[in-house]
A = this chain, B = another copy of it.
């Protein structure tokens, strides 16, 4: 039995999801891997809760609900953040799940750096630091003998990195095609059933899966960020967000959808990362696909990727579940796989 002390930043869908899973199913990690996953610190915008003995997930969830911040737990610290939080938490692994941006990648970037400086391993659920500082992040980790994992950033819970790492061995990936943004796919699905773009966005917002400003999803920024991370992870290609040819779903009209339907097809927002001689290029754009296509058949919040390989042809994986719980599950699977690499599992 090994205790793994976790510091968690952000207590939105992902962070609260992690607490929910540990509360309801924490024993699964113990039973299967001999790991006791213990939250020793959680920070959100209002402050932080820390306990070397371990915070109770139920207390964190209640404090967030009642006080709007995890700092509302007994002994919580309003305003505690950054390096002071990391020092107080005394964790082995940082789970970085705070909201971020593609301008300065904060607060995730500082948290990740602070964790590596303290000899912690890092599991990322936020994309900013990966999109803006991939090389620096990985170099920092390598120099300190630390591990960085980020399965949750590229369309969780899709097993993209796991398949690439464990199954596409001896095989060259030529191209990756994917539906990696569930919100855009949900909106397109509604539109293909007759909704206008505006109605589709509204319905996605009411279902809690689209933000008030849906730009990141509908204009393809989120998918482009994932393409950048995948280009790094699978091809080692240093693409920037601006390198991705990006077209969102706003421009798709009712006649477009009608034409597609009559041809037995449907529009999907497809991210592609393509090896092209010695270079790698990435695109995000709507494409017409037949319903029997591995990606064309995905509806609602389903996501999927197709690896195009040289020796095995197409290898596909798709998932049904998306959103908070599944992203949190993906974060915790990174923790387990990291713990295996560290030899902590039994």
Contacts and interface: CB of A to CB of B under 8 A. Distances in A.
Contacts of A166: 159, 162, 165-166, 333, 337
A87 interface: no
17 contacts: A21-B311, A25-B170, A28-B172, A33-B169, A151-B167, A165-B166, A170-B329, A292-B297, A311-B321, A312-B319, A312-B326, A313-B319, A313-B320, A314-B318, A316-B317, A316-B319, A317-B318
A325 to B, nearest CB: 7
B170 A28 contact: yes
Copies of this chain, tallied across the complex? 2
A317 B317 contact: yes
Main secondary structure of the interface of A (DSSP, over half): mixed
Interface of A: 21, 25, 28-29, 32-33, 151, 157, 159, 162-163, 165-167, 169-172, 291-294, 297, 304, 311-321, 325-326, 329, 332-333, 336-337
A109 to B, nearest CB: 27
A236 to B, nearest CB: 12
Given A291-B292, A315-B319, A329 B159 contact: no
| Residue of A25, A33, A166 contacting most chain B CB atoms (<10 Å) | A166
B319 A170 contact: no
Contacts of A321: 311-314
Given A25-B311, A166-B333, A312-B320, 10 more contacts: A28-B172, A33-B169, A157-B312, A159-B159, A162-B167, A165-B166, A169-B336, A292-B292, A314-B318, A315-B319
A39 to B, nearest CB: 15
A317 B170 contact: no
Nearest to A25: B170
A239 to B, nearest CB: 22
A314 B326 CA distance: 12
Contact of A171 (B163, B172, B329): B329
A171 B31 CA distance: 12
A315 B316 CA distance: 11
A321 B21 CA distance: 37
A274 to B, nearest CB: 18
Given A292-B297, A297-B292, A297-B294, A170 B332 contact: yes
5 residue pairs, one from A and one from B, having the closest CB atoms:
A159-B167, A313-B320, A169-B333, A313-B321, A162-B166
Contacts of A319: 312-316
Contact of A325 (B33, B157, B167, B311): B311
| Residue of A159, A165, A304 contacting most chain B CB atoms (<10 Å) | A159
Contacts of A297: 292-294, 297
Contacts of A25: 170, 311
A333 B170 contact: yes
Nearest to A293: B297
Contacts of A332: 169-170
A25 B32 CA distance: 37
A318 B294 contact: yes
Contacts of A326: 311-312
A321 B293 CA distance: 16
A316 B76 CA distance: 43
Contacts of A325: 311
Nearest to A330: B167
